[in-house]
Structure formats: C-alpha cells, structure tokens
Amino acid sequence: MGEASQGSVGFGFIGAGGIAQRALGPAVHAASGAHLQAAASRDPARAEALGLAGKAYGSYDELLADPSVEVVYVALNNDGHRPWTLAALAAGKHVLCEKPLGLDPGEVAEMTAAAADAGRLLVEAFWYRWHPRTRRLEELVAQGALGPLQAVAADFSFDGPREGDLATHYRLDPARGGGALYDVGCYSLSAAHTVLGPWLTLEDATEEVGPTGVDLATHAQFRAPSGALADIRGGIHGSDRQVLRVTGEAASLEFSDPVFMSWHTPSALTITTPDGGVRVEEFAPVDPYALMVEAVAARVRGESAFLVGLEHTAQVAASIDAIRRRLHGTPGDAGTGPATGAAGTVGSGA
C-alpha cells in the first residue's frame, strides 16, 4: 500500500448527500486518527456544510487532485461507484466506497484489480460488520458455540419512497442501480456469507417488481455445502423488518432489532439452547461508522485493524448476480451453483 501515513489520515468525500451528512461526516469527525479534509459536490455549499479541515470542491476531479486527501469516500448513487472508485485509485488514493461496491462480479473484479495495481486499499462500506455484536457473532460461529449450523434467516426491509418527488429516487431507477436487492438485500446476503462462508448455491428466488422496473422485494434461498439453508429477504416497500437468526444443532442465536442499523443504540443477541436455556449478551451504544473509519485509517498508517476483505464483497456480488440471472437470465442460465467462482478469488482488501 505504499508508504505508511503518519498521524491523522485525511478523508475526502465524493458526494455530500444524506449518507455523508447524517452518518459518515459525523463518523470521521468522531473517529480517532482521521479527519475530514475535503469534500466535493455539485453543490459546494453542501460539501462545506460537512465541516472540513480543508477545501470544498465543485468537481470530483479537483478533490482527487488534492494531495492532502489520502482516503476517498465514494458516497454516490450505485451507478457512480465504479467510475469514481477507479478514478480515485488511478489518482493514488485509498478508497472507502458505499455498498454495493459494484453492480456485478465483473465490476468488483475490475476494481479489485485496479486497487492491487495501484497498491492502494479498497474497502466496501458494509459498516454493520464493524459493530461489536457482529464481530461477536463471527467469534461464536468460529468457536462452534452453536454446533453444526442448520439455517440462517436474514431480512432487511423498510417502507421506502414510491410517491411524489420520492418516486424519482435512485432506489427506483434501474439505470442507477436501484432496487431492493442492491439496497438492502445485500446486507442479508452479507450476513449469510459471514456466517456460512463463501460457497452458497442458489435454490430458489422470487421478486416483486415495481412500475419503474426495479425489484421492490426479493426473496431467495441458498444452500451451503454443509446443507445449511440461507433464507434471504430484502425489501424497499411494505413493513419495516430487520431479522438475523442463526440456527445450529446446539443452540440458536438471534439479534435484537435493529439488526443491520444498530447505531448509537444499545443492542443484544440472544442464545437459546434446545433445553430452553437462554443467555443474552448486551452491547453498549456504538457508532460502527466511526469504527469503520478508524480501521481504514489505521490500515492506511500500516497498523493492524479488522477490515472486511474484497473476497467478501466478491461473494455477495456473485450471490446477487446468481439471483438476477435466475430471475432474468436466459433458459439454462439459472444462476445455480457456487455463489463465488472467479470473482470470489480476486483477492482481499485486508
């Protein structure tokens, strides 16, 4: 990754919309070892409102030319992730990009290769993975605390925009990478891969398509080599639901709500054994966005820190692709088989 940075790492934002204003801007300000150096927006006033140590820019290229920016955070609509991630890597910047990193496995592989060629860090901002509760889940699964795993149920659904001005939101625009699967279904798939590993075979998939052509809700079932079933749901209309439940022969584990959006609030996981025993583990309020920023900054400095590797990004992208091919592909292109493959071997952001 080139020379290690010393001291506080300067972040620069491409995009200054809602996620930057509400979550990542405050997270960088709160994070140890990082500062918000610059931001670029078509509306420079929005960039300035983030509270910058340096300059607000009216063009993304100007930000990429700023030598005081070490890490670029890409906060654009889904279709903007690939071009501006590639541009930032070409400019010698490390990149933290909003999910989904790419709209298909080919895009993820292209960006992974570009990061390797540039010798720069590339991380997908799956921020829930940095939450201590999620890290504890990984630890318990690795220890075999639940016994051989039988099933994972994951659902992230919310009542999203459909009417009035919100009907033109990018989530409803297929040309901009809209739809439930890209927006929230990716979290459910990420959880399944985190628990069950890289090799998931698609067994079934259904979707509800809205008038703009995007999926408003998607439901899919995958099977792990062990036989464990992953039941995956994501929706951007209807009721609000967040579920993560892992069932093993020795015990089951369930996250309290909110599952994927636990942010500055207490959270818990509950472990239940077949004989009726119950153990609750509680977690203090935390900002996983800030933990993510701190980890990225630490790795830029050459220090040890947990990162979600690009192999995980590739696995989730391949599973999304399998669902889309099953639902929209040609006969014989049903999207079955391992949810990884060539894209699952493209390396790691770790």
Closest CA to 289 of 16, 30, 80: 30
pLDDT at 320: 98
pLDDT tens per residue, range 95-110:
999 999 999 999 999 9
pLDDT tens per residue, range 164-208:
444 557 788 888 999 999 999 999 999 999 999 999 999 999 999
Q: Calculate what percentage of the chain has a pLDDT beyond 90.
A: 85
Query: Is it the case that residue 281 has pLDDT exceeding 50?
Result: yes
> If you average pLDDT over residues 148-161, what whole number do you get?
92
- 18: Cα separation from own chain's centroid: 16
pLDDT tens per residue, range 245-274:
999 999 999 999 999 999 999 999 999 999
The pTM of the full predicted model, rounded to 2 decimals, is 0.91
pLDDT at 171: 83
Closest CA to 200 of 348, 336, 108: 336
Query: Is it the case that residue 23 has pLDDT exceeding 60?
Result: yes
Q: Which of 99, 129, 233, 301 is catalytic?
A: 99
CATH (residue range 132-285+309-345) = 3.30.360.10
Q: Calculate what percentage of the chain has a pLDDT beyond 70.
A: 90
To the query of whether residue 55 is one of the catalytic residues in this protein, the response is: no
pLDDT tens per residue, range 53-62:
999 999 999 9
Supply 327's token pair.
Answer: 């639902």
**Range list of H helices, 243-308:** 288-300
CA distance 107 to 94: 17
How far CA 125 is from CA of 23, 26, 69, 172, 348, in Å, comes to: 12, 15, 18, 21, 14
Q: Where in the chain is the domain with CATH 3.40.50.720?
A: 9-128
CA distance 18 to 171: 14
Closest CA to 205 of 225, 238, 178, 181: 181
* Per CATH, domain 9-128 is 3.90.1150.10: no
**For residues 93 and 69, is the Cβ–Cβ distance under 8 A?**
yes
pLDDT tens per residue, range 208-247:
999 989 999 999 999 999 999 999 999 998 889 999 999 9
Q: What strands, in cross-sheet order, belong to the sheet with 229-235? A: 201-209, 215-223, 229-235, 149-157, 241-248, 252-255, 267-272, 278-283
Supply 320's token pair.
Answer: 């999304």
Q: Where in the chain is the domain with CATH 3.30.360.10?
A: 132-285+309-345
Lowest mean pLDDT among 14-28, 198-212, 318-332: 318-332
pLDDT tens per residue, range 40-77:
999 999 999 999 999 999 999 999 999 999 999 999 99
